[in-house]
Structure 1
Amino acid sequence: MAITFAASSHATVRQARPRGRAVRRNLTGWAFAGPATALVVGLSLFPAIWAFFISRARWNGISPGVPVGWSNYERLASDPDMLAAARHTLLLTVLFVPSSIMLGIVIAIALNQRIRLIGFYRTCIFVPYVASAAATGILAGFVFNPQFGAANDVLRHLGIPQQQFLESPTQALYVICVIALWGEVGFTTVIYLAALQDIPKELVEAARMDGASRWRVFRHVTMPELRPVTVFAAVWQTITAVQLFDLIYTTTRGGPLNSTQTVVYYIYELAFQTQRLGYGAAAAYLLFAVTLLLTLGIIWYSRRRGSEVF
């Protein structure tokens, strides 16, 4: 009887020791990650909740706010400036997202070949992505300057009339899209390049042994394998396009004639230039809702097509 009790006690002690070590490891991990986690949550969750209450008030940041209920959201539906900014944002998104994905695929396929100096070429493609968007905007301002810019100098040598680029209401948004592509295509190229290198070589070799051409291999083998990455790139680039601000701020400031004023830049003007913080917070929450719906729509469509990404 005593032997049985001693054995059970020894087993209990052995079970308690791993649990104690696991608890100590968890406490140690949270001791390192806890402060950073609290900081991130405090700097994201609290401002988001506070902004929601601000969006239901009329406040200029100095005098006490006046509660107005949902009237700020109701005014957004009939605000001509907001509707124009939404159209500009939609056009920019429609142009930017497919172009960045297609260019990323094409460049990734080119950089997936075994050629000399391939590391140098890959670095050159990715450098614009890691460069500051503010620096990119300032550089683009010089390149597309109508008087002495390099873009018009190239057109002059090709015998093409000079263009106004960022100073033309009909051209500025398209030029912004080109600049954004130059800065963001490195991201899609890198993720597609990683996905291409992750495709099993056995699949490609089997398709070629069956007599498939390069186009058929790309269409029926490569593209299905790249579908999850394409969904991720579409979600990421959609969010990037909808929230594009720094590039517009450093190039056109929403001009000329508000032709490049996107929703994010309009929110900036409402909150920090006209001091209509409540109205600007309502516009920000509306943008968040639209971005969330777009993201969920892309994920839902991809799952219906059989691509499990998230």
Structure 2
Amino acid sequence: MTPAAMSERTRRLRVRRMRDTATGWGFIGPATIIVLGLTIFPAVWAFLLSLQEWDGFSTPEWVGGANYAEMATDAGLADAVVHTIVYTAMFVPASVLLGLGLAVTLNRKVVLIGVYRTLIFLPFVVSAAATGILTTYLFNPQFGLVNNVLRVLRLPQQGWLEDPSQAMLVIAIMSVWGQAALTTVIYLAALQDIPAELTEAATVDGATKWQAFWRVVFPQLAPITVFVTIWQGIQAIQLFDVVYTTTRGGPLGATETIVYYLWNAAFRELEFGYASAVAYGLFAVTLAITIFVVVQQRRSAKGGAL
């Protein structure tokens, strides 16, 4: 092939490559612009808003880091943080362990197993409004189903959603009911990827079913456990919908979480600047926890490999 022909071929390939690239961007460009417009722009605008004092109507006043400094002395925010931590401590372990238990139970070849798996996943697709209505129906102190059962059993009636010491527990229970299905599906998919030969070999070596699971299967699930723990932790920190549809932060502020406090500051008290600062503080804490857990998990994996 002559140099002129090689040059012409190279030029044609370059033109074709540029055409293919332009065609690809023509397809994904509009969607990319929309996604960036709905994520990056609001994030930047919210950060700038967190440096201002604005009620949504008057002219914004630049206050710099004053909103962030106010967070350190805000007693209401501190209470919301405590409530969120209490909820997270109840919700995350329960949802992860329940999801793992259900996944192990459903990872069997039994009659109608597909039906059982579908029924387990149904609560996850139920809307927050429906979950709130169900929670009120079950745990209402006057006419709730749970207190009616206790009444039939001649056991003491409980305040549930109207008792500051019990309301957060009720919300955690209903959240686990709705969210454990996700961890179940994830664990079930992971269990089905583990070769059966591993547990069979452990059984042949004399291990019991529990030992085979704990020594062979569970270590294979370590990355999945880290993922679902982080995911459920983020969901717990962002709790809002169930609180909004049931207690509205009550009774006596006992279920006011960080996100509900943020919503209240923004849309009831019209403190958009301060609410944006709280949102960015929440983002920073969530990001720090996620990075810490991932780094620790990778260090543990490397240590185990050594």
Same fold, TM-score > 0.5, yes or no: yes
User: What is the rounded CA distance, in whole Å, between the counterparts of 2:32 and 2:254 in structure 1?
Assistant: 40
Q: Pick from 199, 207, 232 the counterpart of residue 194 of structure 2.
A: 199
The count of aligned residue pairs is: 303
Matches within 5 A, 1:1-310: 6-306=1-301
Would the alpha carbon gap of residues 20 and 215 (structure 1) be closer, same or farther in structure 2, given more than 3 Å must change? farther
Q: How far, CA to CA, are the matches of 1:237 and 1:13 in structure 2?
A: 57
Q: Which structure 1 residue ranges, 5 or more long, are not aligned?
A: 1-5
The equivalent of 1:3 in structure 2 is: none
Deviation sequence 1:127-169 (CA, Å, 0-9, x none): 1111111221122111111111111122223332111111111
**8 Å contact kept, 1:170–1:259:** yes
Q: What SS does structure 2 have at the residue aligned with 1:305?
A: helix
Q: Cα–Cα, structure 1 residues 206 and 275, in superposed 2: closer, same or farther, change >3 Å?
A: same
In structure 1, what is the Cα distance between the partners aligned to 2:108 and 2:16? 50
Displacement of 1:9 after TM fit? 4.0
5+ residue gaps, structure 2, are none
Shift of 1:296: 0.9
Moved over 6 A (4+): none
- What TM-score do the two structures reach when normalised by structure 2? 0.95
TM-aligned CA deviation for residue 20 of structure 1: 4.2
- The 1-side partners of 2:134 and 2:12 are apart by 62
How far the C-alpha of 1:29 sits from its partner, in A, is: 2.5
Moved more, 125-134 or 77-86: 125-134
State the one-letter code of the partner of 1:217.
A
Cα displacement string for residues 266-296 of structure 1 (whole angstroms, at most 9, x for unaligned residues): 0000000000111111111111111111111
Measure how far apart 1:12 and its partner are. Answer: 4.4
CA RMSD of aligned residues (A): 1.6
Residues in 1 aligned to 2:298 and 2:70: alpha-carbon distance in whole angstroms: 36
The answer to whether the Cα contact below 8 Å between 1:227 and 1:307 also exists between their aligned partners in 2 is: no
CA contact (8 A) 1:228 1:307 kept: no
CA distance in structure 2 between the partners assigned to 1:148 and 1:90 by the alignment: 30
| Alignment CA distance shift 1:66-1:96 (3 Å) | same
How far, CA to CA, are the matches of 2:302 and 2:179 in structure 1?
24
| Distance change (3 Å), C-alpha of 1:18 and 1:212 | farther
Superposition deviation, residue 13 in structure 1: 4.5
Distance 1:21 1:210, change over 3 A: farther
What is the DSSP-based 3-state SS (H/G/I as helix, E as strand, rest coil) of the residue aligned with 1:261? coil
- Give the CA deviation at 1:7: 3.6
Secondary structure of 2:301's counterpart equals coil
State the 1:68 CA deviation. 1.2
SS of 1:169's equivalent in the other structure is: coil
Cα deviation for residue 101 of structure 1 reads 0.6
Distance 1:126 1:17 in 2: 53
The sequence identity of aligned pairs, in percent, is 51
How many angstroms does 1:227 deviate by? Answer: 0.5
Partner of 1:306: helix, strand, or coil? helix
Cα 1:181–1:120 change in 2 (3 A) is: same
Q: Secondary structure of 1:187's partner?
A: helix
TM-score (norm 1): 0.93
